[in-house]
Amino acid sequence: MSEQVDAAWALLPDYLSQHVLLSAAALGLGLAISLPLAVLAARSPLVRWPAVTFAGLIQTIPGLALLALFYPLLLALSGFTQSAFGFHLQALGFLPALLALTLYSMLPILRNAVAGLTGVDPAVREAADGVGMTRAQKLFRVEAPLAAPVIMAGVRTAAVWTIGAATLSTPVGQTSLGNYIFSGLQTENWVFVLFGCAASAALALAVDGLLGLVERGVARRKALPVIAGAVLLLAGVAGAAIPNLLHATKPTYVVGAKNFSEQYILADLIGARLTAGGAQVARRDGLGSAVAFRALEAGEIDVYVDYSGTLWTNVMKRTDTPPRAELMTQLTAWMAKEKKVTVLGSLGFENAYALAMDRKLAGSLGIETIADLTAQAPALTLGGDLEFLSRPEWASIEKAYGLNFGKEKSFNPTFMYRALSSGDADVISAFSSDGRIAAQDLVVLSDPKGAVPSYDAVILISPRRAKDRRLIEALQPMIGAIPVEAMRKANYAVDRDKAKQSPAQAAAELAKATNLH
């Protein structure tokens, strides 16, 4: 427990400073767009209705989806700018997070600013005209100061929202306090989850307090609280920016990881090997499955681990299931030719979608293969992870064996394994390298008809690193070096409830066990 807390504290400077910079930039950009828009909207109902409606509509999109939507949008835009102007737009990381959060921050600022500006007493407005003010003078000397307290209240709301929503920028590859939450959820490290929530809440409260000070100063027309609040806020942003500027040495390599334990461990292992070779390594963690490959293709990450069967079905769009070695050969050739992506080789284990059962239950029902399930399925309940039931692999198994389960339920992976012991599910969609298979004494049902492709864990290298000898030489020893038992053990060390290890610790032990250190 205290080890995990120490690990969390060690990551705080990086996560917090990135979180602060992202939120501050989004809020600043949000203000720069919303305030002029609010002035126009306050003057013209023709602008007001569409502007406020649009900002309101944005607010109805779940934060995570909004962030995710910017990735394909920027990727398409990046393709355009690359071909039209020859520069590459960052589709992953800071830019999509910034744009999504900026949109998110607009509603409270816009709504309050419009309310504040239109709420100025018409008599006062007429007096401003009557004493001979121009429109700009009226805005800056009369309307804006009178609306300022209402506008500031909106800015406070926007700041709290932005800081909260910034935790969602982890899956698009931007480091934030959300890294604690996302990696904690995946590895069941509740200390990390709580730490991330607490840190983000503390940041939001601190910023809200300082903006509250500014707001009170503005409302009472006292300069001191306004200056004090503004200075402290700027000092906080500067404090976050300075270490980032000092460490502005560009990372040599960017290592990607999808959003589950094995990916974190392998990314740590790859990172450690590159760092040992003297390279600077940056991480993009918690990427969605499709996002990760496209990011590699676009050169936003340099290396990550994917699975041959996933690439086969999702990227190559193939539905046939050739034997393991044949699939690897075809995949490697296709990737090199079509995507200029290097498949360095298999790490030596598979992480396949497999159906698993409790060993005792399987024994008593006489089930050894998926084919044995066909007759008994109507009396059994299938538990799948959140995406399994909609994946082509399941459709393929279902069809090949004519499975017709009595019930089908979806679970978060953690709860899926628990459902097996509590009897809420009889058969689950397990990952073959999952440490819980051994720990819970489960039996993995074999696939005699070969309905599911093989899932060799492979190292992928981005097109622009294809000839990078330093990278390739550092990673080459990993090929064929990790047996499935070693990977299961490392995964379990991270996933188990007691004596949990961090992915980095598990990676270090895995390296020792496989002579990769």
Positions that interact with other proteins (CB under 8 A) = 121, 123-124, 126-134, 137, 141-142, 145-146, 221
Rounded distance between C-alpha atoms, residue 361 and residue 442, angstroms: 10
* Contact (CB, 8 A) for 229 and 213: yes
Rounded distance between C-alpha atoms, residue 284 and residue 341, angstroms: 18
Question: Quick one: 111 or 138, whose CB is closer to other proteins?
Answer: 138
CA distances to 103, 224, 238, 281 from 250, in Å: 29, 41, 20, 9
Task: List residues bridging with 304 in a β-sheet.
Answer: 460
Question: Quick one: 47 or 133, whose CB is closer to other proteins?
Answer: 133
Rounded distance between C-alpha atoms, residue 387 and residue 168, angstroms: 20
What's the min distance (Å) between Cβ of 190 and other proteins? 51
What's the min distance (Å) between Cβ of 129 and other proteins? 6
Question: Quick one: 149 or 348, whose CB is closer to other proteins?
Answer: 149
Element (H, E) at 323: none
What's the min distance (Å) between Cβ of 127 and other proteins? 4
Question: Quick one: 147 or 199, whose CB is closer to other proteins?
Answer: 147
Closest to 381 measured CA to CA, from 418, 417, 420, 348: 420
End-to-end CA distance of the chain, in Å?
26
> What sections of 280-391 are H helices per DSSP?
289-297, 308-310, 324-334, 359-365, 370-376
What's the min distance (Å) between Cβ of 124 and other proteins? 6
Contacts (Cβ under 8 Å, ≥6 apart) of 146: 116, 120, 121, 124
* Cα radius of gyration (the chain): 27
What's the min distance (Å) between Cβ of 126 and other proteins? 7
What's the min distance (Å) between Cβ of 386 and other proteins? 55
Question: Quick one: 77 or 146, whose CB is closer to other proteins?
Answer: 146
What's the min distance (Å) between Cβ of 142 and other proteins? 6
Instruction: Please spell the DSSP secondary structure of 148-167, one letter per residue.
Output: HHHHHHHHHHHHHHHHHHGG
Question: Quick one: 40 or 127, whose CB is closer to other proteins?
Answer: 127
User: Regarding beta strands 281-287 and 456-461, do their DSSP bridges make them parallel or antiparallel, or are they unpaired?
Assistant: unpaired
The two three-digit tokens of residue 281, written as one number: 């390594």
CA distances to 70, 117, 284, 324, 473 from 512, in Å: 40, 66, 25, 28, 19
The two three-digit tokens of residue 503, written as one number: 């992915």
Question: Quick one: 131 or 242, whose CB is closer to other proteins?
Answer: 131
The two three-digit tokens of residue 272, written as one number: 């450690």
What's the min distance (Å) between Cβ of 123 and other proteins? 5
> What sections of 247-369 are H helices per DSSP?
261-276, 289-297, 308-310, 324-334, 359-365
Place of tokens 């002035």: 39
CA distances to 100, 265, 302, 511 from 278, in Å: 35, 20, 16, 18
3-state secondary structure of 169: helix
CA angle 186, 179, 188 (to 5 degrees): 25
What's the min distance (Å) between Cβ of 17 and other proteins? 38
DSSP state of 336: I
Question: Quick one: 130 or 366, whose CB is closer to other proteins?
Answer: 130
Question: Quick one: 126 or 320, whose CB is closer to other proteins?
Answer: 126
Question: Quick one: 141 or 470, whose CB is closer to other proteins?
Answer: 141
User: Regarding beta strands 407-411 and 381-385, do their DSSP bridges make them parallel or antiparallel, or are they unpaired?
Assistant: parallel
Question: Quick one: 132 or 278, whose CB is closer to other proteins?
Answer: 132
Question: Quick one: 138 or 273, whose CB is closer to other proteins?
Answer: 138
What's the min distance (Å) between Cβ of 149 and other proteins? 10
Rounded distance between C-alpha atoms, residue 4 and residue 190, angstroms: 10
Question: Quick one: 214 or 459, whose CB is closer to other proteins?
Answer: 214
Place of tokens 């969602």: 168
What's the min distance (Å) between Cβ of 174 and other proteins? 41
User: Regarding beta strands 353-358 and 427-431, do their DSSP bridges make them parallel or antiparallel, or are they unpaired?
Assistant: antiparallel
Place of tokens 């020792």: 512
What's the min distance (Å) between Cβ of 153 and other proteins? 17
What's the min distance (Å) between Cβ of 139 and other proteins? 13
